[in-house]
Amino acid sequence: MSAEVKAAVARYLDAVAGGSPAAIAALYAPDATLEDPVGADLVRGRAAIEEFYGALAGAKVSTELLAVRAVAGHAAFSFRVTTDAGDQQYVVEPIDVMTFDADGQITSMRAFWAPGDMVVTPA
């Protein structure tokens, strides 16, 4: 069961790196919620979630899983997201918490990070 959850986390990070908001949103359950960063307004439903990830469309993004802890239906994981914006790279290492339904779809996502956690370096 935790292996299924870990596989779902891997699919999510691959999709984020893939850069297709629709493909990312498809990993979410239709009525899923998203809170990114924690404390921000809740994004609810797959259409709104696809719009949330719209900022990624066309961006050069890579992701790397740093650590994952999973139990049935729940995961917490830290990962690195590197966004290449031409002359600058943006690197942030959030800790995300997700819940999953029986089909492995994401039912909720909460991302723990603050703007001050982002590192900007010349590419």
- Give the residues across from 95 on adjacent strands: 78, 112
- The span of 25-33, 44-52, 55-63, 112-120 binding a copy of itself (CB under 8 A) equals 112-120
For 24, the token pair is 């990312």
Q: 22-51: which residues touch a copy of itself (CB under 8 A)? A: 37-39
**Binding to a copy of itself by residue 95, rule CB under 8 A?**
yes
Alpha-carbon dihedral of residues 111, 117, 121, 123, nearest 10 degrees? Answer: -10
**Binding to a copy of itself by residue 77, rule CB under 8 A?**
yes
**Binding to a copy of itself by residue 21, rule CB under 8 A?**
no
User: In a 10 Å sphere around its CB, with 0-12 CB exposed, 13-18 middle and 19+ buried, how is residue 24 labelled?
Assistant: buried
Catalytic residues: 12, 36
Question: Which residue ranges make up the site for a copy of itself (CB under 8 A)?
Answer: 2, 37-39, 66-67, 69-78, 93-95, 97, 112-114, 116-117
